[in-house]
Amino acid sequence: MTLRLGTRGSTLAMAQSTTIAEAVRARTGRDVDLVEIVTPGDRSSAPIPQLGVGVFVSALRDALLAKEIDFAVHSYKDLPTAGAEGLVIAAIPTRADPRDALVARGGLTLNELPDDAKIGTGALRRIAQINALGRRLTAVPLRGNIDTRLRKLAEGEFDAIVLANAGLVRIDRGGEATEVLDPLLMLPAPAQGALAVECREDDAELREILAALDDEYTRAAVTAERALLAELEAGCSAPIAALAEVAEGDEGPEIYLRGAVFSPDGGFALRLSRTGTLADAAEVGRALARDLREEGADNALGVQHDPHP
């Protein structure tokens, strides 16, 4: 029987879903049809913070629960931290590069951008970190799919744009990045670069098929990052960034998690880290969130400094 894979219609979403469909076909021999689902986020040009978390996800989840599709592929960073009743993340495949990328006119790097350069980005997290650099750079909100953003850059609306490097690579435009940004400069969003493959909880056969695509290290890293996000979201609506990496420790693989909270103007920037075992991934994230809160993360939105003194 043919499996129906729900996906958004953007170039990036189709590329991500095609990769998963091909992996399922290769492992099972089953046919997989892509079913395009239009989400509220695709119909609106409003800023993401105004639209709300999950704006690209809800329609796919509704289609899953209505059994119009069998499984769906999401950019994991788009998912709300709370799970959906009746659904399960059956696989988190090996993560792509989680870093952000700069695409600048003239091939410039971040350090080479002139004072008062306009940088387009759709994320408050990136805007806050650009402001935190203490440079005379102007971060400007930018919506649209990758092709739209690159077109606006080429037309001169911006001097540069910042977006996820994984997205560029997945649509074969990775060569257009003029700099892949070091996480010390631009810590990524929790789960950036990772995909979530979701199906109905009661579909045991499909869950078993999809489980073969799961990557243990990616799941642990993403679990830690999103546990931090979930813990902080309860009382902190400031921009949050996190990146977990798995490395070999003295007693086996260990998670090294970095987390950060910023005020939107970049005047407050708090960065901390923690380590732990893969089995304790969620607790590593929660513990680091508590550390950040103890150091003042909840007050980030109340901090206002002039980023261009």
Where do the domains of the chain lie, and which CATH numbers do they carry? 3-94+194-214 (3.40.190.10), 100-180 (3.40.190.10), 220-296 (3.30.160.40)
Find the mean pLDDT for residues 31-45.
74
Q: pTM score, two decimals?
A: 0.90
pLDDT digits (tens, 9 = 90+) for 105-118: 999 999 999 999 99
Given a cut of 70, is residue 175 above it in pLDDT?
yes
Question: What burial class does residue 63 get, using C-beta atoms within 10 Å of its C-beta: 0-12 exposed, 13-18 middle, 19+ buried?
Answer: middle
Distances (CA, A) of 307 to 21, 111, 270, 303: 46, 17, 16, 12
Residue 147 to residue 160: CA distance in whole angstroms: 14
Residue predicted with more confidence, 206 or 145? 206
Mean pLDDT for the stretch of residues 227-241: 81
Give the percent of the chain with pLDDT over 70.
Answer: 90
Question: Residue 46: its pLDDT value, please?
Answer: 46
The tens digit of pLDDT for each residue in 146-161 reads: 999 999 999 999 999 9
The pLDDT score that the predictor gives to residue 236 is: 57
Q: Which residues are catalytic?
A: 78
